[in-house]
Structure 1
Amino acid sequence: MRIRGSRTAIALGVGAALLGGGLAAGPAAAAGQASAAYAPTAVQRLVPVEGTANFRDLGGYRTYDGEKTRSGVLYRSEALNKVTPNGVAQMAALKLKGIVDFRTAAEIGANGPDKYPAGVPHSNLQVADGGLMTTLYAVITSGDPVRQEQILGNGRAAQMMVDMYRTFVDDPAIRAQFAATARGVANGTVSLYHCSAGKDRAGWMTAILLTAVGVPTGTVNQDYLLSNQYLKPGNDALKQQLLASGRMQNPSLLDPLLGVDQRYLDAARSAAEARYGSFGKYLTDGLGLDILTLIKLRQRLVT
């Protein structure tokens, strides 16, 4: 997709910032994390990569049969466009097998491409947001509190998110991107995937993978909700900026869009079960993952 005109680029940039966790961690924000090399443990979740705030290891989760997911094998994160040179070096130490970027071409054009170690395979498997970011830009830059309330208030912002999560299941093109990523993880060619904030598209991808290898639903939910903790400082700063600039009188209207909510994940799960009969059938029939791929996923991700 080609971006035409600076106004469109700015629109997508603001929208991506909103769904991308507000202010991504820069050198100063990550300085405390950068002092030591990352050594994966069962309890350490956040991975220090300077220029990110939501880069996480998916190891250490118990499965139904008492095993654990492997640490230092699979990671999820927000966009890598603000990663510093030191952050690139930190990523190099992880020995990544491959990276998948779920952002659209418009998002990448507005906010910049990923920064990552030379030689690491990188794929852009675009998952669209249904125009959500462009809508957000128009609402926010209007500076009209009445319009903002009409579009975002009274549960409407949360409903936008619920609807977007349902498209993760219902849209065949989107299913194909998640399926391709799952196969890459199973084959050992993908060890990091991300979207803008590392919370929605990456969140659903993580739910797919953890569920597929036998991690209980409650644990999957806990991992999903961790994005709220890691993105809160940047989100709070963004809302303060919007208030100070006069763009919004009530920045809390953005809360349903800036964070994650159990209702969003449940909406995607319910869509999968309604369409395919069970989550297992969603994996095999919806995503087309055969038994060999599911076995390979388990072998790669579980001890």
Structure 2
Amino acid sequence: MTGSAEVLPRRVQLQGCTNMRDIGGYAAHGGRRVRFGQVYRAPSLSGLTDEDLPRFVTLGLRTIVDLRGVHESAKAPSRLPSPGPEVVALPIEPTVGASLRDILATGRATGEDVLTLLGRAYAAYASEKLPIYRRLLALVADPARRPLAFHCSAGKDRTGFGTALLLMALGVARDDIVEDYLATNRFWRREHALPEGTPPEVAEALTRAHRPLLEGAIEIALTGHDSEEAFLASLGLDAARLAALRDQMLE
């Protein structure tokens, strides 16, 4: 981790949203560090309690980006203060659920089956879903949109890959990017319900963040690009925009 005395990432203490955290604090480009209070990553915001709402307001969020699929969002609408931040939907439809039901129906589902399904999902994030992440980065790069939070259902997979891209853009070391991703395993209380009868091995695989999934997705995303800078330019962060983002997000 970074040389900061604080243990990172900095968690937002909420009863009904256990995996929300500030992405700030990491050592980044040019010896600077990522500013706190600018961007947050989170799971579903549907479970915020009456006690959570005042704490949530103190974050001063202007924008919330919802990466959940259309039916996911409709089934578990966000519970937000009123008036609240503008919500921007950038749906990445879940693909694991239907396939998981298929393998559970066989009665022979294993943790390896789940990792295979998740691997396919991560490969999609790093290829066909990159235009959605490009839109997310454009929102983050707009200072009028910040403070900003983005989330999916667990705050683990779709959100995890988006966070990795942003931290990469800010020049955060790969080890710190991976450790931020794995922090879900410490923080998340598994508010996301699984189908009844899910085998423990399958549940464990499905609800944890796995280092090889993120590392593999990053490598897929970088394939065909001469450098991280060339890859980031393909996501709309050319040299000028990247420098502007770093000037705004780093201190």
TM-score, normalised with respect to structure 1: 0.74
Answer whether contact 1:60 1:69 (CA < 8 A) is retained: yes
Once residues 20 and 190 of structure 2 are traced to their aligned partners in structure 1, the CA distance between those partners, rounded to angstroms, is: 14
1:101 matched residue in structure 2: 66
Note the C-alpha offset of 1:64.
4.8
Asked which structure has the greater CA Rg, the reply is 1
Match of 1:298 in 2: 246
Partner SS for 1:84: coil
Match of 2:139, as an amino acid? G
Change in Cα spacing, 1:176 to 1:115, as seen in structure 2 (3 Å) is: same
Give the letter aligned to residue 289 of structure 1. Answer: L
Residue in structure 1 matching 2:80, options 94, 113, 116? 116
Letter in 2 for 1:217: R
Find the residue that maps to 1:75 and give its secondary structure: strand
Partner of 1:126: 91
In the aligned structure 2, how far is the partner of 1:136 from the partner of 1:122?
Answer: 29
Letter in 1 for 2:247: Q
- Counterpart of 1:293, as a letter, is R
Structure 1 letter corresponding to 2:80: Y
Aligned partners of 2:193, 2:232: CA distance in 1, in Å?
37
The answer to whether the Cα contact below 8 Å between 1:42 and 1:59 also exists between their aligned partners in 2 is no
Letter in 1 for 2:67: F
Shift, 1:42, TM fit:
4.9
Q: Give the whole-Å Cα distance in 2 for the aligned partners of 1:49 and 1:98.
A: 19
Instruction: For residue 181 of structure 1, report the CA deviation from its aligned partner.
Output: 1.2
- Alpha carbons of structure 1 residues 81 and 138: separation in structure 2 relative to 1, 3 Å: farther
Q: Distance in 2 between matches of 1:273 and 1:293?
A: 19
Instruction: Note the alpha carbon deviations across 1:157-209, whole angstroms, 9 max, x for none.
Output: 111111111101210xx222211111111112141000110011111111111
Q: Give a deviation string over 1:9-43, Cα, whole Å, max 9, x none.
A: xxxxxxxxxxxxxxxxxxxxxxxxxxxxxxxx954
Q: Determine helix, strand or coil for the equivalent of 1:185.
A: helix
Residues 1:264 and 2:207 are matched in the alignment: no
The 4+ residue runs of structure 1 with deviation greater than 3 A are 41-44, 137-140
Q: Which residue number corresponds to residue 117 of structure 2?
A: 160
Q: Shift of the alpha carbon at 1:56?
A: 0.3
Shift in Å, 1:155 = 1.9
Tell me the TM-score normalised to structure 2 length.
Answer: 0.88
Letter in 2 for 1:209: L
Answer whether contact 1:187 1:296 (CA < 8 A) is retained: no
Partner of 1:202, secondary structure, is: helix
1:218-297 equivalent positions in 2, closer than 5 A = 218-231=175-188, 233-234=189-190, 242=196, 247-248=197-198, 250-285=199-234, 287-297=235-245
Matched to 1:102, the amino acid is L
Q: What amino acid sits opposite 2:211 in the alignment?
A: Q
* CA drift at 1:259: 1.0
CA distance in structure 2 between the aligned counterparts of 1:224 and 1:148, rounded to whole angstroms: 31
Deviation of residue 69 (structure 1)? 0.8
**1:55-94 to 2 correspondence within 5 Å?**
55-94=20-59
Sort the Cα spacing of 1:255 and 1:279 in 2 relative to 1 into closer, same or farther, 3 A. farther
The structural deviation recorded for 1:234 is 2.9
Q: Mapping of 1:123-202 within 5 angstroms? A: 123-129=88-94, 131-140=95-104, 142=105, 147-149=106-108, 152-153=109-110, 155-171=112-128, 174-188=129-143, 189-190=145-146, 191-202=148-159
How much has 1:278 moved relative to structure 2?
3.3
Q: Alignment partner of 2:80: what SS? A: coil
RMSD value over aligned CA atoms?
Answer: 2.3
Return the alpha-carbon distance in structure 1 between the equivalents of residues 111 and 154 of structure 2: 24
- Cα offset, 1:264, TM superposition: 0.6
How far apart, CA to CA, are the structure 2 residues paired with 1:238 and 1:195? 14
Provide the identity percentage: 27
1:280, distance to aligned residue in structure 2 (A): 2.5
Structure-2 change in CA distance of 1:254 and 1:280 (3 Å) = farther
Unaligned runs of 5+ in 1: 1-40
Which has more helix, going by share of residues?
A: 1
Structure 1: how far apart are the matches of 2:107 and 2:115?
A: 14
